Structure 1
């Protein structure tokens, strides 16, 4: 049996959780490394002809798919499949799968970390203390209890974020045209403009599509309440970044917290680096200790399910 060549599984990253690798022990698992440029992945796809790709970093386009004629499934290490050309995959009969919900707790927690850091000025006050200041008599933080939290998207992550808002005594409203129900204490509203107009905190939890790309722009940001907070742990493409920089600089928004960006890694220098009421993190929301395992196992199980189905129907 040792002479049988194992099918290749390509990972666009440099590691997977041991629990995921155990599930994939019948595959020749090849790692592309952290710097997964299109050229690197394309070259490996041509050389190895994988039956499956697990996507951690970078994007998968038609050229990569065509370089691997044996490819049957592209499995996202997480929930955001916008990095995969889904139309090209469908045209080639390649399944695209997401590890839905695997990092929901981690992302919802990170969204709240950013909301609280904005409302309580945590990074600013930390910097001031380290510089020798004591701002007790001059600084007031924002109390969230009794304020309105507006959620765009009420999937696994949005629902968790909503429940936390309710627990903190907030009035929680949400917009999601696909949601059939809402957690206790959460009100579904009919329009995004209502979210923007009524919310003291707006948190984005929706996937990125061609329809909602740049949904937060000069026009929509102008609808926000003065002194409100915006947090994005979803996708950077949802926000027109120059427009956000303007409303933060003008004082229209009290603060914002971003975990995703239009271009990743975020280019440097970047105007965001000079905005004091903007808190930045490097798309780390879904990268917790538990989520790392959950996403790896979820991605591996999706690969196995598709290949099993293909073998059964062959």
Structure 2
């Protein structure tokens, strides 16, 4: 009897995750799968589960796999999955929530420090033979206020590090409960008004798309630092660029973008005071294993529940 298939929208999966899925046929979609590729593979193998690392999961992909029962995100953000379409078809959508929290929180803090301390600019100057000690002053984060938007596993971990650095932490998350005492829960207006730095850690939804825009940036302190390791769609990129050029935003550190991979040339290229990384906040050896295991366990949990119902 042939094994049921699990489609992985990538070229690989952690060995520890594969061990959990040994009773299934694992079908890889390759390094840069597109929706037509996934439709073709789903039609050919009729997977009962899809583990999503790259590409979009559209209604067409779901319809190509009549046996599909679960779509498991290899990470925390499920905005690449058409969740209403999945719900309409009785397909459960899961996420590996918290599996990459340490990695992404570290990346967010790295970007914040890089912005505050002008790490990239000073490194370039030093390699060019300059010594700017007499003319440069960095930003000291101790005693400054950081606004954290989204207080899930990643946002809370980032907040804990910021608190350990003696920063004042204010946070916005309408769904957060049992927050630590060092996080002051506030509304978004307070985030914009009082933050010296703002770090985004919320999922992308239709309600918060372009959350950081010309209006909200204008409401911020002049010289605010913006950090985004969540989803690129949270920021109106044209508005951020204009705010950087005017000095309203002193610097920004971005690990996610509206279009990925980021197009070249791009208006962000060669922009001073803008630190960029290619959405690698959660790409560490440890996170790769943790997310793979969590995604595999989520698949097994849903399929096990379906078998019990039968």
Q: Indicate the TM-score class for this superposition, using the shorter chain for normalisation.
A: over 0.9
Match of 2:17 in 1: 20
Shift in Å, 1:181: 2.5
- 1:168 matched residue in structure 2: 165
1:59 to 41, 56, 62: 56
Residues 139-154 of structure 1: matches in 2 within 5 Å? 139-154=136-151
CA contact (8 A) 1:203 1:231 kept: yes
Q: Matched residues in 2 for 1:23 and 1:166: separation?
A: 38
- For structure 2, the residue ranges without an aligned partner over 5 or more in a row are none
2:84 is equivalent to residue 87 of structure 1 = yes
Q: Is the 8 A contact 1:58 1:83 kept in 2?
A: yes
**SS across alignment from 1:150:** strand
Q: Deviations over 1:25-76 (max 9, x none)?
A: 1111010011111111111111111111000001100000000101110000
SS in 1 for 2:72: strand
The equivalent of 1:226 in structure 2 is 222
Q: CA deviation at 1:184?
A: 2.9
Does residue 193 in structure 1 map to residue 199 in structure 2? no
- Taking the aligned partners of 1:294 and 1:313, their CA distance within structure 2 comes to 29
Q: CA RMSD in A?
A: 0.7
2:212 matched to 1:212? no
Counterparts of 2:257 and 2:288, CA distance in 1: 21
- How far apart, in 2, do the equivalents of 1:286 and 1:239 lie? 19
TM-score (norm 2): 0.99
Q: Which residue of 1 aligns with 2:231?
A: 235
Residue aligning to 1:279:
275
Q: Aligned pair 1:119/2:116, yes or no? A: yes
Distance apart, 1:215 and its partner CA: 1.0
Q: Aligned equivalents of 1:281 and 1:246: distance in 2?
A: 20
Residue 202 in 1 paired to residue 218 in 2? no
Poorly superposed stretches of 4+, deviation over 2 Å: none
> 2:264, 2:181 → 1: CA distance?
43
Count of residue pairs brought into register by the alignment: 310
| Structure 1: stretches of 5+ with no match in the other structure | none
Q: Following the alignment from structure 1 to structure 2, what is the Cα–Cα distance between the partners of residues 274 and 288?
A: 27
Check whether the contact 1:162–1:183 (CA below 8 A) recurs between aligned residues: no
Whole-Å separation in 2 of the counterparts to 1:184 and 1:290: 29
Separation (CA, whole Å) in 1 of partners of 2:151 and 2:180: 9
